[in-house]
Amino acid sequence: SKVVFVNGANRTEVEVLVGTSAMHAATDNLVGGIIGECGGDLSCATCHVFVDPEWFDRLDAPGVDERDMLEATSEEPTEFSRLSCQIPCTAETDGIVLHIPESQ
Ligand code: FES
């Protein structure tokens, strides 16, 4: 499954196994700008991304715990904010575009 990370003018495409979280897709491939300090336990909010508007509605809605943690992100969240540890890479998200915030 492909994930595209956009950081300013940089665009990095990574290929990961189905079921990998987008957070791990970034950290396992040394994509800068996503930290994932808690390892995906929904307790750090350092995996914040802005999902490309074209892709946002294709994801399942965030759960209540994720919504709570989205209030603790370093950079101000937008309507397209998600925590990337909660985005599974699947056939449906193949090619998803995620924008990396300036700070985590
Ligand atoms: Fe900590 Fe996503 S990795 S909340």
d(CA 41, CA 86): 9
What percent of the chain shows pLDDT beyond 70?
100
Q: Is 59 in the pocket of ligand 1 (CB under 6 A)?
A: no
Q: What is the pLDDT of residues 54-98, one digit of tens each?
A: 999 999 999 999 999 999 999 999 999 999 999 999 999 999 999
Q: To the nearest whole number, what is the mean pLDDT of the chain? A: 97
CA dihedral 37, 7, 87, 63 (to 10 degrees): 80
- For residue 85, give the ligand 1 atom closest to its CA: 2
- What is the CATH number assigned to the segment(s) 2-99? 3.10.20.30
Question: What are the residue boundaries of the structural domains of the chain, listed by start?
Answer: 2-99
Banded model confidence at residue 9, pLDDT cuts 50, 70, 90:
very high
- The residue type of 85 is C
Residue to substitute in 34, 42, 81, 100 for testing ligand 1 pocket (most ligand atoms within 8 angstroms of CB) = 42
pTM flag (> 0.90): yes
Classify the complex by whether its ipTM is higher than 0.90, answering yes or no: yes
- For residue 46, give the ligand 1 atom closest to its CA: 1
d(CA 26, CA 32): 7
